[in-house]
Amino acid sequence: MGGGGGGKKGAAPPKGCIAFRVGGKGEEMQRFVVPVEYVNHPLFAGLLKEAEEEYGFEQKGSIRIPCHVEDFRHVQGVIDRENAGHGQLHLHFSRCFKA
């Protein structure tokens, strides 16, 4: 599955998905569109906590996550593997990543 970046800049994410901008220090921010269910995962919640500490709650547009893109992709892979292990359908996830 992997995926993540891309899509039209500023395009609305598909229903059930949310857009984030991800990038660490010295790295260009990349847009990722992920399923809303991600926010319930403890690893993703940790990333959101870092975003809150770095940028606060008053962000305009896509939420920025101060994380290196490769680290974010690793978190995506962990969440996807866990979801696959619980028998959840990946069709929904596929649609989000292609946004």
Asked if the structure places residue 22 within a domain, the reply is: yes
Asked if the structure places residue 6 within a domain, the reply is: no
Whether the model clears a pTM of 0.75, i.e. scores above it, the answer is no
Asked if the structure places residue 4 within a domain, the reply is: no
Residue in 79, 90, 70 with CA at minimum distance from that of residue 5: 70
In tens, the pLDDT along 48-86 reads 999 998 888 777 777 899 999 999 999 999 998 888 776
In tens, the pLDDT along 4-61 reads 544 456 678 899 999 999 999 899 999 999 999 999 999 999 999 999 988 887 777 7
Asked if the structure places residue 12 within a domain, the reply is: no
Domain that holds residue 42: 17-97
Asked if the structure places residue 40 within a domain, the reply is: yes
Asked if the structure places residue 2 within a domain, the reply is: no
Asked if the structure places residue 9 within a domain, the reply is: no
Strands (DSSP E) contained in the chain are 17-22, 30-35, 63-65
Domain count along the chain: 1
Asked if the structure places residue 10 within a domain, the reply is: no
Quick one: which H or E segment has residue 84?
helix 69-85
